[in-house]
Structure 1
């Protein structure tokens, strides 16, 4: 009996030791079962069986030890196991994964290399390898997981093709957060012409990070690629072509992922917060979508509209171009003359065109490259192949020039072929421009005198505006966005015009009332509908806030920001319209915070400042309290707390500190209001004294978030609703650093990737903190997108 007990204890202890002692190697005599773990020598990566998300299937995968939910590679991604009976075995030089009936559900490829003592080892870079026990050179590995990527592009992994074996290393998205099977999006090296990194949806290019120019991929700004943490490499020889990156600091944890929506995201692990922080995304804006502006055009996010034909080119379909459909691109104003007389026009600061129809030579000079292109009638442009130093090599294009982007920094020179007559026209235009500049210098005294007169007129106009108490716009205003003052031309409307448009400020045309004063709907003679603000005598705001709003709106151009002369509309909203509004507001805020030439903090984002056009598209309005930042300034403090309670972030309402994260908080409140159809301020519930944020948080932690949705929305997609609530709660967290920025929020709303767990919201109220007004019986509290609140 004692012997039996000893054997039982020994068996249990042996089993415990087998699964608990960290090991990184398996030999052919060992098997690896569900519940076992393999841990790399440095403890960075772990291998085992797992079930993703809500899936019941079992998969063999590799993940970060510090973040078990962050899976970087899956063996049987398209053939899940149905139970926990999976076993991994290493035969002579092949890995096989067996199910409960000993059938093979996955196996590694055979190798032409032989090994005396083959072992399976998990390396500390995340690479799972089959190799000879005494061999550490990757060239002599029998098999490695890095040759078969899933959705994650890790440091030291190659993206490209082995020209000897013909195998491609392609990063492919998961189908969904619950299914690691091969999705429809992939990142690969397109080897046509000069090889370039592309993101594809099926067989179609979706986005193009670009080709290697000696320093970086051509589609990225210099700052993004010249990061001290990373070192990039591109290799093109007789045996292989690939792109990869290395980490200069081995302590950094970073990964590049293609999510199920086709967005490439780089995440870095922050040890302070114990979270993955989003470092960059691609595509990051509409210009990064492949061929967004069509052929022979360029895309510039700093301009409106973003698309424009190359110089001396015309829209191929002018009517479509006017309606902002640029897919047909542009055509030459004057055909090329192949018999002679063509030349080249130099463009600077560009992401070079698609190189799939290009040819290159490493040894030619730029002058030789120009001569070569002139001799070939099909050659349309040329550039340096390598931009290091003074540049070297030759890269030429044949056919259409597609997917050109104007970069804010680090762009390249491109020489586009032109007819001689077009070059003469351009030269005359430039000469004329120089003469005009000389005239401006000569006439500077008259200009100063004119500005003095204009200043007097402006002063008189301001006094008239104060007496009339209406929202007339100054004709010319001096504006300082942090980079120097400039003049802005604005339309002028006299009092009679606006009085006629609003039927003399009739009550029937009153839309609502805000902190500035009443807002009226009006119609100009040409039929254009307008919203008119009229300054109230009792308003806490005045001319400065009005000027601030008009000037900011005039400077900013985005489809989700209200323009001067826009219209409002109120209507019952189904779920599709609500989620469209949420997405539109998110993109508008992203533009304000990151993509506009100014860096704007709105400071008063709320439901009543979201106007809807005829198609129910949202427009962010009311920039009277907005602040613009210059340079790297990211936050500020004020002693004058103005805005709308219920939307204010805790740090602003209590301490007067505001930043882009203040707007993020307001956006989170807005999401929860749109989902629920209730306002945060004054919200009441018969079961508790929580505000809307507290109510949403309570439902979330009790696993009942779907109860938050408004009963009147009709049919909806559960996943979309839950995701909106999740993002809303992330945005209203107490600490600004815990909230996502708007770039992350936009991606969260549009993707299916796993989201971090939200923490308790700021201004979370319980019964002891509740407003005394909450003790009154609850009444219906619906939000309206055209009711304006006093501030």
Structure 2
């Protein structure tokens, strides 16, 4: 009995020796190890190293690093990505060669660090940055890293991690997405740095290029919009004969951020942790639109996402392949006139472009732009040249072969000089005597084009009116044809976990809204018609019939509907960044929206309303434009939602209703008092929303103020006193352009004029925001004071708000 007891004690002591000593510390030495069930924690408590199971199964054990106090999307590194252990017998230790090894039950090596340098005193430590390092701690000498996890990233790029190449050793630090949310083994999506003569960040799907950032041109990569310096982190780049990499750091320790690859959405996402909401906020995502996809418009084709169609051939080029019934952009474009190097080619300047793929290019750092032109002109195979660094106006890049993956910007990108035939180039010698003749020809051509355009316009307008009347009659005859995919109730029930309360995003006048995930992994938002809803079957069919015909980047996309017995549901695309009111009215989250982002949102809302009023197949008045009905996608692009109250209208006509529905504080005077609505009603609501975005304050509404002005009144008072900029939200003062904000305040006051005829149309608003038209002086706005200014017409049967208790559908979760 005593012998058995002694053996038991020895066994317990050995277990403590080999596993217990590492618990609660941040290091492993050659005499300790880490077993399954124990963890290492960085000294500041930010990161944790240990064993985990992926997905719902307890089998398949992995060694990984995660954020210690964050429970969602938190694993940032995995050792044995494609080689899981079948049980919890795993042990992490330092072997006799000084390497870090992961052993399974039979002591076989599952994973190893494979450091080529031997250590006298090896120690493994989890640093506060989340970097797991193997060090040689030699007395009297500085510590050196023999191996570090930052050199072998999985799907995440953390602050302080070098992203790119160590050219002296051939080490390539690149990301690869998890194959699925439950499988950390690499999928086909990867992201890394290509190093030719200068570096470029590239995303691949398998072996094919999928997205390319564009070379850095001294200010920012040429393929990204040019924005003000980021308020959350700084990014630096190093490129020399030994190294080529990027590295970033948060500006404050309180910012927790990482970039990771998402196989499901085929994108890289920059996320920031929101401690108050205990959730990740998607700060940016790329590719951000179709024009970011590699080679969308083929060779010599440029892509502009706001254009219709987005692909265009560069001036002086034409499509290679086009038939009478289709346009094929995959083949790209070719020159109108062939090059003739011997007789003399020239160059044509193209501005605001993302630079082409650098696979076939050369770099000359010491040349200026004129020398660059001469260098390219001397070589008949040189197709284009550009300045390497537009900030310093130095360096030369020249391209050989066809140019591909060009994107057009409105206020970003770089100048690119493309080789053209003498007839198409910017030669001075093409001017002179032929200039007057060319001018006369152009003038005559313009007169012909204008005449044809005017005649065609009136013919098309007449045909369009006839067509719309026929469409209206057809819609009346086919009222039950919803023209949308129908989802089975069981599919939606499964996607929302039987409409579980933890899937609920919020609730409005229509009913509850739930987050769901379809079997293919696509996230959706499900709007379920409540039996006690203020809205009913009529509004349901109205919203379906309207949104089914709407396609615009600034309108939320309706994916389908579900009608089964008493159940009526709408299925929308899921908006992870919630709605606009979630940000601008919150003291913590509002600082995520600097002025460039707010102005981008303002312009997007304006374009969406312009589409509804003028460009959509059915002209639509929304009637409930407000901050909670503007959703934000992954790139913080605005999308107008909630069309349950929308009405179609005939051109140049107003409507009247005896059931005024909408939201207090956003309603135009003529609508709130007399039930008269038109496109100018939406313009008034847009003006209120514009003031809220600028100031970060709610327009408290005329219905609950006692002898005091609301936000509209405050803006008008400051305007008259000559201090309109005092209205600006303090969080955006440093990032804003005062003239741009002043213009927006001016536009907002024009939009909220008392008389509808004094308000601009949304087409004029879009031009005003772009600075392309002069602004008239505003008159006194409507609804400046308390509810005594409102006299409701007694003939109305109902006057109600669709936002009961000002509850937003976005208060609980992103959708």
Instruction: Tell me the TM-score range normalised by the shorter chain.
Output: 0.5 to 0.7
Asked if 1:492 corresponds to 2:453, the answer is: no
Asked if 1:308 corresponds to 2:318, the answer is: no
Would the alpha carbon gap of residues 76 and 9 (structure 1) be closer, same or farther in structure 2, given more than 3 Å must change?
A: closer
Q: Which runs of 5+ in 2 are unaligned?
A: 445-453, 483-542, 581-598, 637-641, 647-660, 668-684, 690-805
Whole-angstrom CA distance in 2 between matches of 1:558 and 1:230: 33
Alignment partner of 1:393 out of 385, 392, 395: 395
Structure 1 residue 194: Cα displacement:
2.8
Alignment partner of 2:90 out of 73, 86, 108: 86
Deviates more, 1:19-28 or 1:340-349: 19-28
**2:134–2:145 CA contact under 8 A, matched in 1:** yes
Alignment partner of 2:605 out of 595, 599, 608: 599
Root-mean-square deviation (Å) = 5.4
Would the alpha carbon gap of residues 217 and 19 (structure 1) be closer, same or farther in structure 2, given more than 3 Å must change?
A: farther
Would the alpha carbon gap of residues 624 and 240 (structure 1) be closer, same or farther in structure 2, given more than 3 Å must change?
A: closer
Asked if 1:335 corresponds to 2:366, the answer is: no
Structure 1 residue 326: Cα displacement:
1.4
**2:127–2:133 CA contact under 8 A, matched in 1:** yes
Residues 318-363 of structure 1: per-residue CA shift (max 9 Å, x gap)? 229x635411110000111111421111111111111111110111
Matches within 5 A, 1:144-223: 144-223=148-227
Whole-angstrom CA distance in 1 between matches of 2:204 and 2:386: 26
Alignment partner of 1:109 out of 109, 114, 121: 114
Asked if 1:293 corresponds to 2:274, the answer is: no
Residues 212-250 of structure 1: per-residue CA shift (max 9 Å, x gap)? 2233322211227x3133222222222222222233323
Q: Report the equivalent of 2:407.
A: 405
Q: Report the equivalent of 2:357.
A: 354
Deviates more, 1:92-101 or 1:139-148: 139-148
Q: Report the equivalent of 2:100.
A: 95
Q: SS in structure 1 opposite 2:150? A: helix
Would the alpha carbon gap of residues 619 and 282 (structure 1) be closer, same or farther in structure 2, given more than 3 Å must change?
A: farther
Q: SS in structure 1 opposite 2:214? A: strand
Would the alpha carbon gap of residues 44 and 498 (structure 1) be closer, same or farther in structure 2, given more than 3 Å must change?
A: closer
Structure 1 residue 400: Cα displacement:
0.9
Would the alpha carbon gap of residues 395 and 501 (structure 1) be closer, same or farther in structure 2, given more than 3 Å must change?
A: closer
Whole-angstrom CA distance in 2 between matches of 1:146 and 1:397: 34
- Normalised by the length of structure 1, the TM-score is 0.59
Structure 1 residue 37: Cα displacement:
0.9
Q: SS in structure 2 opposite 1:492? A: helix
**1:562–1:620 CA contact under 8 A, matched in 2:** no
Matches within 5 A, 1:210-289: 210-223=214-227, 226-261=229-264, 262-289=266-293
Would the alpha carbon gap of residues 251 and 19 (structure 1) be closer, same or farther in structure 2, given more than 3 Å must change?
A: farther
Structure 1 residue 162: Cα displacement:
2.1
Alignment partner of 2:366 out of 359, 363, 366: 363
Q: SS in structure 2 opposite 1:370? A: helix
Structure 1 residue 420: Cα displacement:
0.9
Whole-angstrom CA distance in 2 between matches of 1:413 and 1:425: 17
Asked if 1:417 corresponds to 2:387, the answer is: no
Would the alpha carbon gap of residues 123 and 9 (structure 1) be closer, same or farther in structure 2, given more than 3 Å must change?
A: same
Would the alpha carbon gap of residues 431 and 88 (structure 1) be closer, same or farther in structure 2, given more than 3 Å must change?
A: farther
Whole-angstrom CA distance in 1 between matches of 2:472 and 2:606: 31
Deviates more, 1:378-387 or 1:154-163: 154-163
Q: Report the equivalent of 1:25.
A: 27
Alignment partner of 1:317 out of 315, 318, 321: 321
Matches within 5 A, 1:414-453: 414-423=416-425
Alignment partner of 1:40 out of 42, 46, 66: 42
Q: SS in structure 1 opposite 2:374? A: helix
Would the alpha carbon gap of residues 272 and 19 (structure 1) be closer, same or farther in structure 2, given more than 3 Å must change?
A: farther
**1:561–1:620 CA contact under 8 A, matched in 2:** no
Alignment partner of 2:810 out of 719, 736, 741: 736
Would the alpha carbon gap of residues 430 and 359 (structure 1) be closer, same or farther in structure 2, given more than 3 Å must change?
A: farther
Q: SS in structure 1 opposite 2:64? A: strand
Whole-angstrom CA distance in 1 between matches of 2:346 and 2:255: 49
Residues 113-169 of structure 1: per-residue CA shift (max 9 Å, x gap)? x43221001111111100123699999310011111100011221222222222211
- Normalised by the length of structure 2, the TM-score is 0.57
Residues 173-207 of structure 1: per-residue CA shift (max 9 Å, x gap)? 11100000111111011123432110001111000
**2:575–2:631 CA contact under 8 A, matched in 1:** no
Would the alpha carbon gap of residues 498 and 269 (structure 1) be closer, same or farther in structure 2, given more than 3 Å must change?
A: closer
Q: Report the equivalent of 2:65.
A: 62
